[in-house]
Structure 1
Amino acid sequence: MEKFDKKAIDEQVRAGFPLEHRWHNKFHLEMPFGLINDPNGLTFSDGKYHIFFQWNPLGCEHKNKCWAHTETRDFIHYAVPQLAMWPSDEHDKDGCYSGCGTVEDGQLRVLYTCNRKEDGVRIPAQRFGSYKGGQVKKEEIIVADKAEGYTGHFRDPYIFTRRGKRYFIIGAQREADETGTVLIYEEGAEGWKCLGEVKNRLGEFGYMWECPNLVQFGSYDVLIFCPQGLDERAFDRQNIYQAGYIAGHLSLDSMDMMQHTKFQELDKGFDFYAPQVLSHEGRQLLFGWMGMPDKDGEYPTKEQGWMYSLTMPRELRLRQGHIYSRPAREMKDLRIQETAVEMESEALTEIARPLFDGSEILLDIEMGEAKELVVALKYGTESLLFIYDRREQTMSIDRNGMRNGGRGIRRFKLFADTKLFLQIFVDKTAVEAFFQHGEEAASILVFPEKNIQPELQVTADGEMMSLSGKIWELDGYWYR
């Protein structure tokens, strides 16, 4: 049998659905076996959203990089994922790396980085392919190697259109000092031409920029990217690698990101990287990888033969240079309405409610006299804590109370004044939290020791004026 036998692998995947292990999530995309990571090729075509993602079907290591594919019309009902692209020739023999999707003359196409190594030297190439009949047919190579002056860390193209022309932005590392940057290529009659780096005012900012996206919000341009090699700070950059953005105005004439904001993170949790954004009908829809490079030891599902998830789809908005992210509106269709639990209390210091086997929680808290609030997800004697300190205007996420997987604390600034608003999605292992109507978001993976449904507990060190909210049981994704 070939190393990548599509028919056999697809049959094995189909046999693995529905996902049954107690750590498998209900409403997050994941696979019954192998390691998944970056979402790729997000495209809307023929009335469906197409979602590709990195996948090693042969094990739980970061090698054998393939692309899997699924599709959906509503982000609730999905096609059972299939193997869509795999290393198959001299250009991508060491991996089909990340890339994007586009539609040309009604045909869904992808652009990705081919990875090959010769005598230990990485030789990247950027290649198109067409998706048809459940797999990508590989076609023309448009950039055969790295640009001059850059190392072999040259990957993850993302197509965008301006002035009636197509461009792509790509992550890179400068050869001279091994620092990170992004470059832009323009399509012309004679092929794709490198226009050079996008100038910015970040200074030296890590040793590699991965997974760039260039997205428009009205008259503003947002450059999303994943810098590697930044130092941790008190209230941000606390993961080994970051995923964030700068917002400004991109001039393709001067190749300069004009009047841009500081670098801001898209997610303040433990488990978020390599996001990709799809622009469709005025919406900016994001998927991220719920995982973190070089932290595989923090994910105990490896012992069960699979690793990692994708986030739920999020919708992005830009306000005063800051991205607000909320769950895509389609996620409301997961709510099982008859299970709704109302919470309405005044003059209280604590409240507790049982959760479902998959829950959405809305909390609107008038903090009153309270100076510290703790919102806890309790798994028996284990806990995941969200701690808000009004004195410092900080939110802390503490998973030191969990026995399996990664631990630690993440802290970030969050202005709440008198009222704190939280929206929390609690899946089997994936927790996604949204603060102050999407001003900040956090992705967290937890692996409860016991197979029990969690409980929500809210406690305060003083009397809260009021707490209102609702809890729903959530249905799972449907696969066909």
Structure 2
Amino acid sequence: MQKIHLETNQGLINDPNGLCQFRHTYYVFCQWNPLKKDHTHKEWAMFTSKDLIHWKQHASPLKLGEPFDRDGTYSGSAIEQDGAIFVYYTGNVKCENRYTNQCLAVSENGVDFHKKGVVLPTPPGITRHFRDPKVFQDKDGMIYMLVGAQTLDQKGKILLARSENGIDFDYLGIIAKSQIYEMIECPDLITDFDQDLYLYCLQGRDPITDEVTDSFAVYQVTPKDRFKQFEPLDLDHNWQKLDEGLDFFAPQTFIDKKGRRMMIGWMSRLDDNQERLLFEKEPNAHCLSFPRVLTWKNDRLIQTLAEEFESLKTTSHPIEITSNGLQGKTTNRLAYLKIERSPSEQSGQPFRLVLNAGELIVTWKPKTCELIRKDWAQDREETKTFPLDEIRTIEVWVDESSFELFVNQGEQVLSARVKPLESHFSFEATDGQARLFDLEGFTLEKLGSMDLKPAGHARKEEETAIAVY
């Protein structure tokens, strides 16, 4: 199990939901199936923290069971409104004419959530693919809701609704569209930078079987307040990937009390065989990414790890200079590595970084970078290639079965799950100056024995057991 990434101690999780900070407590929710390591059941998991390092998992705050969400409480978001947490989510109803609704639940104490029902039903001309409500407020206090959707011609769209009180929403129409992809998931809109940023996931679906064929997370820059002009944005062009790694999807952002725009994603794009083999001996499956701080600098998006994680660094380790470059290792699996390259090394000299005997490899030659992972399901190398002008610095954060790499002070991020080959951490690099540290895990107060009552029944919060890594 992971030790510095959020995950439940049982079942399967996916998309992060409802990210917010309420009364100085961080809230991270996510999709959760506590019953099995598959997607046959959906409710919400809930974690809270005062500092992003010491966490507690709570009993599920949102379970299926009402007529409007009887087959699943799916992804959504949250805002603070009238001294309470307003949580918006997709209620799934799998009847003969399957449909979805955008629903509301409210908590005044941050623990007990009370469902208020449907606030936005499926509009005319929209298929059952109508989900992932992202709610935000503008500077005047007006509340907006973005929803990912598919029109009857099987093309992806982003829809917009508006409310003055967070309860009564007026549907305004389509504000962004794709002519290539069959669905748009996880829409988000950042409005606190010099320019607005749309975040969304492009999803290809087979027109006959409706199965997912491709999906990835991107962002697109637009002029300020363009979303209010109701001229549909072209989602097929002028986007950039949020993460050039192998496992990052369904990101969501929020603003904390320090004014930081933060983002968390789901760390998986694994295929079925990779997923089965990676988690077959574990009671749980999947994790969330680190919380990343987003800034806009020199006309580009910068992603850096929240500064609180610096406190996890402990023992430093020596770096050995070899005829092939440099190398080092730790005694523990959890590690932090930073490599800084000199101007002469940056100016066209190829670079290669091997992590943990080849669990993950980064290679760079002028203008091009490759991320190579050992595919444990097919015993081959899996390669991702993308454009990159240079590598000046690279920071590597290592957990039990995941890596997050921040390149050039966060100008690019690479995320990947791996099948561990070593119980410690080691690296080899062709050049640069390196610093290497052990990491201690964060504290997660997990749920104790799981009380898996049938859907629709309230779950009593169980006794908890503290796990300190």
TM-score > 0.5 by shorter chain: yes
* Contact 1:405 1:447 survives alignment (8 Å): no
SS in 1 for 2:279: helix
CA distance in structure 1 between the partners assigned to 2:74 and 2:396 by the alignment: 32
Q: CA deviation at 1:333?
A: 1.2
CA distance in structure 2 between the partners assigned to 1:252 and 1:277 by the alignment: 17
Q: CA deviation at 1:28?
A: 0.3
Equivalent residue for 2:252, pick from 267, 272, 276: 276
> Is 2:106 aligned against 1:130?
yes
CA distance in structure 2 between the partners assigned to 1:369 and 1:199 by the alignment: 40
Residue equivalent to 1:298: 274
Q: Deviations over 1:321-343 (max 9, x none)?
A: 4311111111111111xx12354
Residue equivalent to 1:315: 293
Distance 1:257 1:344, change over 3 A: farther
Q: CA deviation at 1:359?
A: 0.5
Q: CA deviation at 1:218?
A: 2.8
> Is 2:384 aligned against 1:413?
no
Q: CA deviation at 1:479?
A: 2.1
Q: CA deviation at 1:70?
A: 0.8
**AA matched with 2:200:** F
Q: CA deviation at 1:240?
A: 3.0
Residue equivalent to 1:263: 239
Structure 1, 26-35 or 406-415: larger mean CA deviation:
406-415
Q: CA deviation at 1:199?
A: 4.1
Alignment of 1:207-356 (within 5 A): 207-229=182-204, 240-249=214-223, 250-256=225-231, 262-280=238-256, 281-292=258-269, 295-299=271-275, 300-303=277-280, 304-336=282-314, 339-341=315-317, 343=319, 349-355=324-330, 356=332
CA distance in structure 1 between the partners assigned to 2:186 and 2:101 by the alignment: 15
Q: CA deviation at 1:453?
A: 1.1
CA distance in structure 1 between the partners assigned to 2:410 and 2:35 by the alignment: 37
> Is 2:450 aligned against 1:473?
no
Distance 1:223 1:401, change over 3 A: closer
CA distance in structure 1 between the partners assigned to 2:378 and 2:420 by the alignment: 7
Alignment of 1:391-430 (within 5 A): 393-400=367-374, 402=376, 408-416=382-390, 420-430=392-402
Q: CA deviation at 1:33?
A: 1.4
**AA matched with 2:388:** L
Equivalent residue for 1:153, pick from 102, 123, 129: 129
* Contact 1:298 1:405 survives alignment (8 Å): no
Residue equivalent to 2:350: 372
* Contact 2:346 2:392 survives alignment (8 Å): no
SS in 1 for 2:5: coil
Q: Deviations over 1:88-129 (max 9, x none)?
A: 12211111010001112221220101000211x321111111
CA distance in structure 1 between the partners assigned to 2:329 and 2:163 by the alignment: 56
> Where does the alignment leave 5 or more consecutive residues of structure 1 unmatched?
1-23, 232-238
Q: CA deviation at 1:205?
A: 3.6
Runs of 4+ in structure 1 deviating by more than 6 angstroms, as ranges, are 257-261, 403-406
CA distance in structure 2 between the partners assigned to 1:369 and 1:194 by the alignment: 53
Q: CA deviation at 1:348?
A: 5.9
Equivalent residue for 2:423, pick from 435, 448, 452: 452
Residue equivalent to 1:18: none
Q: CA deviation at 1:400?
A: 2.9
Distance 1:395 1:254, change over 3 A: same
Distance 1:199 1:209, change over 3 A: closer
**AA matched with 2:53:** I
> Is 2:29 aligned against 1:52?
yes
**AA matched with 1:245:** Y
Q: Normalization by structure 2: what TM-score?
A: 0.85
Alignment of 1:75-90 (within 5 A): 75-90=52-67
Q: Deviations over 1:188-226 (max 9, x none)?
A: 5892111111146xx524110001111123332111011
CA distance in structure 1 between the partners assigned to 2:54 and 2:266 by the alignment: 20
Q: CA deviation at 1:84?
A: 1.7
> Where does the alignment leave 5 or more consecutive residues of structure 2 unmatched?
207-212, 446-469
Q: Deviations over 1:125-146 (max 9, x none)?
A: 1111123474422113211x31
C-alpha root-mean-square deviation of aligned residues, in Å?
A: 2.6
Distance 1:369 1:43, change over 3 A: closer
* Contact 1:361 1:470 survives alignment (8 Å): yes
**AA matched with 1:395:** C
Q: CA deviation at 1:311?
A: 0.5
SS in 1 for 2:57: coil
Distance 1:47 1:405, change over 3 A: farther
Aligned length: 428
CA distance in structure 1 between the partners assigned to 2:59 and 2:70 by the alignment: 20
CA distance in structure 1 between the partners assigned to 2:375 and 2:85 by the alignment: 46
SS in 2 for 1:229: strand
Equivalent residue for 2:403, pick from 431, 439, 464: 431
CA distance in structure 2 between the partners assigned to 1:331 and 1:64 by the alignment: 33
Distance 1:362 1:81, change over 3 A: farther
Equivalent residue for 1:35, pick from 6, 12, 17: 12
* Contact 2:264 2:289 survives alignment (8 Å): yes
**AA matched with 1:222:** L
SS in 2 for 1:331: helix
> Is 2:418 aligned against 1:441?
no
**AA matched with 1:420:** R
SS in 2 for 1:49: strand
SS in 2 for 1:332: helix
* Contact 1:70 1:82 survives alignment (8 Å): no
Equivalent residue for 1:109, pick from 86, 98, 107: 86
